[in-house]
Structure 1
Amino acid sequence: MKYWIGILGSLFIPISQAGVLEYGASLDQSVWKMTTDTPLECRLEHIIPGWGKGAFVSHAGKNTNMDFELKPLRPQARIQTVTVRSMPPSWRPGVAESGISKVRFYKQFDGLVNGQAAWTMLDELEGGYTPSFLFRDWYHQNQPITVSVSAVGFRSTYQNFLGCMQSLLPYTFEDIAFTILNYEKNSDELTPYSKRRLAMISDYLKADPQIDLALVDAYTDSMGSKWPNQQLSEKRANSVKKFFTGLGVDEKRVKIEGHGEKQHVATNETERGREVNRRVVISMQRWTPPEFNVEKTASR
């Protein structure tokens, strides 16, 4: 089932062999490009002429993750099962094609291959093989169709993709969106654990421009007088803001407020309770386009 379209030059014409409509980049059309290279997302894209594009995507987080998104020019017209296979390169005659996975394509959503199957596709491409999607095309009277991902030009850009993955933050927005930091007694000095946590939040703030506001609310225990405690809470809130802005975060994205000894969350009768009450609460608001939310939720 291997095919070449290089003889067609830059003009793409789908080929039909034995009743199968085939789409894929020719030798001179095959391009891989890093379209996102940030501590939050790595995206490696490939154009499939006449059909759409595919992309390998990995996101920040504690767990290793990999997706391959297959985005057609025309939306999926129905739900169907798709076979993903690996086709051998022309310089390995006699080698048989092999199966990678079976996936579901959902109506009105991009195709998605995730987890181990996506990693297998990467390995096959690195070895010069061609991962291909086999299904029936509603737009061509249910004719069998093969959509192929070319290995030409893949290896050099793949190294950049791996480098990007090594720089992904090991936590997500959900991991740091609401954080409570604690202080040493009678001080605006954070505890060692809270300092590490604050550094994590700062890294994420710098990397994610969609976080439009970080709210910093500071509190004290009830030891001492109310007015000094109010001033201390404001000092603590300001110290967090200075930490953020000192690392390049726009001060307009940080809003602070000191609450003094109000809103205790534990008893002030014990040292442990007072330690819990000496705190700063950081909560972040993130703007996300509605269409992104809907598509991601449904496609996963």
Structure 2
Amino acid sequence: MAFSLCKQTLSLLGALALASGMPASVGAASYGAGIENSQWYLAESVFECSLVHEVPGYGKAVFRHQAGEALSFFLEAEHPMMRPGRGSLVVEAPAWRPGVAPRPMGTVNVSDGSRPVLLDTRQAMILARGLLEGMRPTVTRESWFDGSPVRVQISNINFSGQFQRYRTCTSNLLPVNYGQIRRSRIPFNSGSASLSGADRTLLDNIVTYVLADTTVERVFVDGHSDRLGSRIDNRALSEERANVVADYLKARGISEDLIIVRAHGDQYPVSRRPADNRRTTIRLQREGERPEFQQANAYGGEPAG
């Protein structure tokens, strides 16, 4: 019964493949652009640089470098073709360069989903170097349908010039991205409201990002203290800590209209350790993002808003 269901499933997948233009039998199927249709497209901004290559019949190959992160590479599939597991990465010569031996570059992890292959920085650089040398990197993995090989080839044609533009783009990226500084924390010593060099570096990165991203509409600055000492003193100290951070942001160019300063004293501890509670938090909010609401219980995190 299980075998019959499996055959029915494979038959259905084969029918879907035919309907979508994919080969029903993926026996040693190869996907890749030829000389006449090999193109690379650059999408560039201070937030991200992406170099995109259309792989006819398969999907896309993408070099991506997001601000504050390292280079990565991924394959984006229009349809699931490769079975999850370990595939191979080989840098091989194109058909018009006979006699050049292929270079095996190890294995790659093939996962489920629309981006089945994701390479780290080292593997992405190996792949880029192969393309610059006029080679054709190829990822191979058995198919979902019958276990025969699926080969995705990445063309070097028209790559070199666009890659130089891509490298120029990456040199102009911001030092951080939104996810990295959307929520930030400045720690303080007991009784202190002084900023360290590391604190200033973090705040400078926040300023650089906010000035570049016009969709940021709020910068919440919340001061906190531990529970040592009187509540009145702790409230005043948390206010001083919040103002020190807010004043630094304003002095570096963030509009006062964007900044909302609040002081909470010892009302919202995040830990039983006093050092963890001596802090000012900075939270950015973009246009269209819903304000987050949290119940501010003991050890329960930041207040709402």
* Offset, 1:165: 2.4
Could you list the runs of 5+ residues in structure 2 that have no partner in the other structure? 1-20, 290-305
Give deviations 1:115-151, integer Å, cap 9, x for gaps: 3222110000011111112223334x44433211110
Match of 1:214 in 2: 219
Match runs of 1:70-85 below 5 Å: 70-76=75-81, 78-85=83-90
Task: Provide closer, same or farther for how the CA distance between residues 101 and 198 of structure 1 changes in structure 2, counting only shifts above 3 A.
Answer: same
Match of 2:15 in 1: none
Q: Which moves more between the two structures, 237-246 or 209-218?
A: 237-246
Task: Provide closer, same or farther for how the CA distance between residues 45 and 277 of structure 1 changes in structure 2, counting only shifts above 3 A.
Answer: closer
Quick one: distance in 2 between partners of 1:174 and 1:98? 37
3-state DSSP of counterpart to 1:124: helix
Match of 1:127 among 133, 145, 152: 133
Give deviations 1:63-86, integer Å, cap 9, x for gaps: xx3322111110356323221111
3-state DSSP of counterpart to 1:196: helix
3-state DSSP of counterpart to 2:33: coil
Task: Provide closer, same or farther for how the CA distance between residues 97 and 196 of structure 1 changes in structure 2, counting only shifts above 3 A.
Answer: closer
1:178 aligns with 2:181: no
Check whether the contact 1:75–1:110 (CA below 8 A) recurs between aligned residues. no
* Offset, 1:55: 0.5
1:60 aligns with 2:67: yes
Match of 1:37 in 2: 45
* Offset, 1:257: 1.8
Q: Percent identity?
A: 28
Match of 1:298 in 2: none
Check whether the contact 1:67–1:112 (CA below 8 A) recurs between aligned residues. no
Match of 2:162 among 140, 157, 164: 157
Give deviations 1:13-32, integer Å, cap 9, x for gaps: 999xxx53221112221111
Normalised by the length of structure 2, the TM-score is 0.64
3-state DSSP of counterpart to 1:99: strand
Task: Provide closer, same or farther for how the CA distance between residues 153 and 250 of structure 1 changes in structure 2, counting only shifts above 3 A.
Answer: farther
Q: Which moves more between the two structures, 233-242 or 201-210?
A: 233-242
Normalised by the length of structure 1, the TM-score is 0.65
Match runs of 1:127-276 below 5 Å: 127-139=133-145, 141-171=146-176, 173-174=179-180, 177-180=183-186, 194-207=199-212, 213-218=218-223, 244=249, 254-258=259-263
1:49 aligns with 2:73: no
Task: Provide closer, same or farther for how the CA distance between residues 278 and 73 of structure 1 changes in structure 2, counting only shifts above 3 A.
Answer: closer
Task: Provide closer, same or farther for how the CA distance between residues 202 and 21 of structure 1 changes in structure 2, counting only shifts above 3 A.
Answer: same
Task: Provide closer, same or farther for how the CA distance between residues 166 and 126 of structure 1 changes in structure 2, counting only shifts above 3 A.
Answer: same
Match of 2:298 in 1: none
Letter in 1 for 2:66: H
1:118 aligns with 2:163: no
Q: Which moves more between the two structures, 142-151 or 236-245?
A: 236-245
Could you list the runs of 5+ residues in structure 1 that have no partner in the other structure? 1-12, 266-272, 290-300
Quick one: distance in 1 between partners of 2:164 and 2:118? 21
Quick one: distance in 2 between partners of 1:217 and 1:110? 39
Quick one: distance in 2 between partners of 1:88 and 1:45? 21
Letter in 2 for 1:283: R
Check whether the contact 1:78–1:108 (CA below 8 A) recurs between aligned residues. no
Give deviations 1:203-248, integer Å, cap 9, x for gaps: 23345678664320247999xxx79x98997687567557657877
Give deviations 1:162-207, integer Å, cap 9, x for gaps: 1222234445644673221769x99x99666543332111123345
Quick one: distance in 2 between partners of 1:166 and 1:263? 41
* Offset, 1:285: 5.6
Give deviations 1:59-116, integer Å, cap 9, x for gaps: 3347xx3322111110356323221111214564311111122112122341224232
Match of 1:292 in 2: none
Letter in 1 for 2:56: P
